Chain A
Amino acid sequence: MAHRGEFLTIADVRTHVLRGGRGAPLLILHPEYAANRWLPYHDALAARFQVFAPDHPGFGASERPEWLDGLDDVVLHYADLLDVLGIERVAIVGTSLGGWIAAELAVAYPQRVERLVLAGAAGLKVEGAERFDVFLHPIEETLQHLFHDTSRAAQLVPTEIGPDVIARAYGEAATLARLTWNPYMYNPKLERRLRRISAPTLVLWGANDTYLAPAHGQRYAQRISGAHFELIDDCGHLIPLEQTEVFTRRVIEFLSASGTEAASAER
């Protein structure tokens, strides 16, 4: 599927967006890895939807503004992005950090979210549930925790690793730290606020996720009215990168039920 990249200026922040496909708009929010990559799951979803896949501020080719210091800044940034794109309502698919941003966006602007897919979404803390600390481990070890079949981690490793590549990865990690260092990967207020979400919601989780245990997904599903929780077998944390086919099939099924009539009929 043809796609292209473009830069948009969103309230002074130079923002890189990959886009492709036709149909109803779909916002894809990337995990804390694999920014600025048009991957097979983007392709599959672009066959049915008009896909917008921006790089979060401070990831990929998007600049990191000095004032960026919380998820709320990212949420407002994406609300502005939708305005610039002229999109009033949108379906959102977010993975890990992207899932967290998607959930916060749906909390802040429930009326703008058509349907919501959270895949291994960060953002909640569940007492006793396992969370891998990316800041305590070298990247080699982190990669092992992102996939059930660890051989799949190779797709995230650049072919050549030199000072530039390492410095760029360090820069993205700095953005991640800026947003998630403490509290680590969650917003203590989010769980209480999830009741504001009105969009039909699908929560997908890798059955073998050791980065963020499935209990986090169950909690999302409990707190979002009418949400549906589903485990994906033989799958670690980055579902769209590990079980691409299952993931895209489930997402297309779910989103396709979301024509205006279908969505309101469900409600």
Chain B
Amino acid sequence: MVEFFYFHLMPWPYLPDDFDRRHASSWVTFSNQYYDPQRGHRLYNEYLDEMEHADRLGYDGLGVNEHHQNAYGTMPSPNLMAAALVRRTQRAKIAILGNAIPLRDHPLRVAEEVAMLDVMSGGRIISGFVRGIGCEYLSLGVNPTYSRERFYEAHELIVRAWTEAGPFCFEGKHYRVRYVNIWPRPLQQPHPPIWLPSQGSSETIRWGAQRRYPFISVFTSFAQTKRLIDEYKAAAEAAGYTAPPEQIGFALPTYVAETDARAREEAKPHILWLFRRGLKIPPHFLVPPGYITEESLRKFLTAGLRSPAEMSFEELEAGGYILVGSARTVVDRLKDIHKQLGFGLFIGGGRTGDMPHDKALKNMELFAREVMPHFR
């Protein structure tokens, strides 16, 4: 049994023709003058239509996420998008993947908003927590050297706010609130499920496994995904339990069409958009000083990993960064991956990069009708 989530980044696809040549990144310095609110209005509504459609198609959940000041994903507030979905969907869970809690000066706002959503939705909310990517520390002026400790501290404040009778006093290093007493409280008890979407530092994996928070590997190669999930399973064993499938997930851009050849042809430009334009991020944006430890950086450099931004479509496919093909091919491949990873959560992308609305609809319909039933 696998739970399927329809995940959206809500990208800004209308990059200028000279983007590849003239712009070092689609983040931080890429001017918002390239954003056109009129077109944005139409896009947001298409994107939300797609997510509502996914609910009707039988996806188990809808995934939204937080990114700031870029063309990769125009969803600075995932909670707003979750709110837009709560009243227009009936059944699907709404997974916020996630709130970038260290970027907030007041994490209680996250505790409050997620509690509101949980009550409004009748307990359909999944609350992912992330650190936010390096770029966002530049874009929001938050000191990256505090990223990890702010993440832990904000997490603690939020969980306590959800679970402890208020008012109580919280005095941490970064956040101090003398009267924590949030109204409303979340509907799900003890609190909405917390997920950890991550590219996977060992520290985060261990921390998540100890708390039984589902770990979601995001946009990694198959080899990397397997390594991370194995590490998570080992950390769970070390914590005294065996990680069940419902704690293991990964996010993978996926495209299904009538045949393998057609799927590749239709998906290719949009997948390359995602990796080469949406994720065009120079290293000094991606890992600003202190965002990771010196040790992690040394390991990363020594491993000499290639960036998927430099790979061809065929390399992305062979590396397992994407899943593209006929329903038959996708089912077979996913079964194989399932056997190897034992995942219970699949976060598939529907409208990758600059994919148009009609392709997105066709993709999600084929996936829901011809792939998902094989895993029920």
Contacts and interface: CB of A to CB of B under 8 A. Distances in A.
Given A135-B138, A136-B28, A177-B143, A164 B298 contact: yes
Contacts, number: 57
A134 B233 CA distance: 40
Contacts of B141: 181-182
A137 B28 CA distance: 12
Interface in B290-325: 290, 294-295, 297-298, 301-302
A162 to B, nearest CB: 8
B284 A174 contact: no
B301 A166 contact: yes
Contacts of A139: 284
A135 B290 CA distance: 11
Contact of A170 (B28, B142, B297, B302): B297
A262 interface: no
B135 to A, nearest CB: 11
A166 B138 contact: no
A166 B297 contact: yes
A136 B289 contact: no
Contact of A177 (B288, B298, B301, B302): B288
Contacts of B138: 135-136
Main secondary structure of the interface of A (DSSP, over half): helix
B145 interface: yes
Interface string B263-294: 00000000000000000001110011110001
Contact of B282 (A138, A162, A182): A138
B143 A163 contact: no
A167 interface: yes
Contacts of B298: 163-164, 166-167
B144 interface: yes
A181 B301 contact: no
Given A163-B301, A167-B298, A173 B142 contact: no
Contact of B143 (A166, A167, A171, A181): A181
Given A135-B284, A136-B28, A174-B289, A167 B145 contact: no
A228 to B, nearest CB: 35
A22 interface: no
B29 interface: yes
Interface in B38-52: none
B145 A177 contact: yes
Nearest to B142: A182
Nearest to B303: A163
A176 interface: yes
Give the most central of B29, B143, B284: most A CB within 10 Å. Answer: B284
A181 B140 CA distance: 11
Contacts of A171: 294
Interface string A165-198: 0111011011011100110000000000000000
A177 B142 contact: no
A163 B137 CA distance: 24
B319 to A, nearest CB: 23
Contacts of B294: 167-168, 170-171, 174
A90 B275 CA distance: 56
A178 B302 contact: no
Contacts of A138: 282-284
Interface in B143-197: 143-145
Interface of A: 135-139, 162-164, 166-168, 170-171, 173-174, 176-178, 181-182
Interface of B: 28-29, 137-138, 141-145, 282-284, 287-290, 294-295, 297-298, 301-302
14 contacts: A135-B284, A135-B288, A136-B28, A136-B29, A166-B297, A166-B298, A166-B301, A167-B294, A167-B295, A173-B290, A174-B145, A174-B289, A177-B143, A177-B288
Given A135-B138, A167-B295, 5 more contacts: A138-B282, A164-B298, A167-B301, A170-B287, A174-B294
The 3 tightest CB contacts between A and B, nearest first, are A174-B290, A173-B289, A163-B301
